[in-house]
């Protein structure tokens, strides 16, 4: 199995940052996403799990171009799935995983990540939509809707909520988020084998 990893947004994407906190610190989503993806890639490499970073550059790459890269890779690697990593905003709190709308091959993958989140983020709410019997939230996000492979998108706490943001700005928080994703991928591999 191969993992396609997307690090959502680039250095030039406007409006993707936390407020500036009292101590002068501020989180920029492009940097957070890339740091988590790099940590995760290192962990996957240690486990011998092939992973493909679709956006190695710091600048933003359009969703259309991201999807082209994903679909080209998937065409030659049909045993792969997409994991898109983000930090959330909007004044809430907690962690969530998204798939495209309807019952899809991505639902079981999302459930693996939701189970992992319960373990690695015990002090945070795991935001779910259980109306269809599983934890994933469903959305028409472009990257989920237009990729040919199974695809999930994680929102790793809220950068505009102080408690969440302080956690994901910390080394221990970032390690926990990276390990959450590693554990989720290992669960996916176990389910698929």
Instruction: Tell if the pTM clears 0.75, that is, is over it.
Output: yes
Let me know if residue 137 belongs to a domain.
Answer: yes
Let me know if residue 124 belongs to a domain.
Answer: yes
- The number of distinct structural domains making up the chain is 1
Q: What CATH number does the domain containing 173 carry?
A: 3.40.630.40
Q: In terms of Cα–Cα distance, which of 147, 138, 173, 148 is closest to 158?
A: 173
Quote the domain boundaries for residue 73.
Answer: 2-9+30-192
pLDDT in tens, 140-159: 999 999 999 999 999 999 99
Let me know if residue 22 belongs to a domain.
Answer: no
Token pair recorded at residue 178? 């990276």
pLDDT in tens, 175-188: 999 999 999 999 99
Distance in Å from the first CA to the final CA of the chain: 10
Let me know if residue 25 belongs to a domain.
Answer: no
What is the widest separation between alpha-carbon atoms in the chain?
49
- Minimum mean pLDDT among 56-60, 80-84, 182-186: which range? 56-60
Distance between CA 39 and CA 21 in Å, rounded?
25
Distance between CA 70 and CA 80 in Å, rounded?
10
- Cβ pair 5, 52 in contact under 8 A: yes
């Amino acid at each position: 199995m191969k993992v396609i990893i997307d690090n959502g947004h680039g250095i030039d994407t406007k409006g993707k940052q936390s407020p500036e906190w009292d101590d002068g610190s501020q989180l920029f989503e492009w940097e957070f996403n890339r740091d988590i993806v790099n940590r995760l890639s290192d962990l996957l490499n240690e486990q011998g799990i092939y992973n493909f970073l679709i956006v190695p550059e710091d600048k933003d790459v359009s969703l259309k171009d991201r999807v082209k890269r994903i679909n080209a890779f998937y065409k030659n690697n049909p045993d792969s799935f997409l994991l898109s990593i983000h930090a959330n905003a909007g004044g809430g709190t907690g962690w969530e995983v998204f798939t495209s709308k309807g019952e899809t091959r991505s639902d079981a993958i999302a459930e693996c990540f939701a189970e992992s989140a319960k373990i690695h983020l015990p002090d945070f709410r795991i935001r779910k939509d259980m109306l269809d019997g599983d934890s994933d939230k469903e959305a028409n996000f472009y990257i989920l809707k237009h990729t040919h492979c199974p695809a999930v998108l994680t929102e790793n706490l809220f950068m505009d909520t102080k408690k969440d943001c302080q956690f994901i700005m910390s080394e221990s928080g970032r390690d926990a988020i990276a390990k959450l994703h590693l554990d989720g991928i290992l669960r996916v591999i176990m389910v698929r084998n």
